[in-house]
Amino acid sequence: MYNIGMSRLFISVERLEAWTAEGRASLAGDRMTLTELGRSFTMEPAVHFVGITGSDVDPAGLVGLVKTAAYLETLGAELMETSVIYADTAYEVVNGFIGEPLPA
């Protein structure tokens, strides 16, 4: 998880699966509840940009950012497993979700 302070957070698919298996989180539709905190979040598919394939140049400035799948679609970017192709640049990404906190 990359940002938790009861603001939006990014959680990778792997982390979410582990937390669910450990009983630390529960899922129902697009809602995740952190059982230890009793806080719920609506979840939206997203990716965390972690690098560029075959280059050190990031022309779009995406490395280090988290973007929703819906936003990438509006840009015309292609999401393929662990990579995103945008404007002729191949980015390495971590798949996951952006969680928007629901009122306590």
Residue-wise pLDDT for 16-67, tens only, equals: 999 999 999 999 999 999 999 889 999 999 999 999 998 888 999 999 999 9
Task: Provide the whole-model pTM.
Answer: 0.85
- Per-residue pLDDT, averaged over 9-13, amounts to 93
Q: Give the per-residue pLDDT at 54.
A: 85
What count of residues does the chain have? Answer: 104
Q: Give the per-residue pLDDT at 6.
A: 56
Whole-angstrom distance between the N-terminal and C-terminal Cα of the chain?
A: 20
Nearest Cα neighbor of 22 from 11, 7, 12, 36 is: 36
pLDDT above 50 (res 11): yes
